[in-house]
Amino acid sequence: SQTIHQWPATLVQPVGSPLSLECTVEGTSNPNLYWYRQAAGRGLQLLFYSVGIGQISSEVPQNLSASRPQDRQFILSSKKLLLSDSGFYLCAWIAGGITDTQYFGPGTRLTVL
């Protein structure tokens, strides 16, 4: 069966510090991978998606970036965090087929102080 991991689970960082969040998927190959952010009390905002190694599409121009160095690894980064980067970061993957069902990882709670 497929599983998706994210770490760290929680993170508290000062403004201006760098960020690296990691997501890995097990039990599948060549998945579509996604990074979402959910601000407190808000909906899901798609940040990046990737259909393959080295292929990244950005949805929101901001101080975040994403990379996919391996087939089942997706990394979200920032060189300098802003207060507005606080939120719940979710990695997701899509199982192929007609329904394209999307599954989420457990998430990383980021607080920028």
Partner 1 sequence: QKEVEQNSGPLSVPEGAIASLNCTYSDRGSQSFFWYRQYSGKSPELIMFIYSNGDKEDGRFTAQLNKASQYVSLLIRDSQPSDSATYLCAAPDTGRRALTFGSGTRLQVQP
Which residues lie near partner 1 (CB under 8 A)?
Answer: 32, 34, 42-44, 46, 49, 51, 57, 59, 88, 90, 94, 98-107, 109
Q: Least Å distance between CB 101 and partner 1?
A: 6
Strand partners, 44: 38
Q: Least Å distance between CB 66 and partner 1?
A: 13
Residue 57: closest CA among 44, 47, 48: 48
Specify the residue, 3 or 17, whose C-beta has the smaller distance to partner 1: 3
Specify the residue, 46 or 77, whose C-beta has the smaller distance to partner 1: 46
Q: Least Å distance between CB 74 and partner 1?
A: 13
3-class DSSP string for 5-53: EEECCEEEECCCCCEEEEEEEECCCCCEEEEEEECCCCCEEEEEEEEEC
Token representation of residue 90: 């979710």
Specify the residue, 2 or 17, whose C-beta has the smaller distance to partner 1: 2
Q: Least Å distance between CB 14 and partner 1?
A: 23
3-state secondary structure of 29: coil
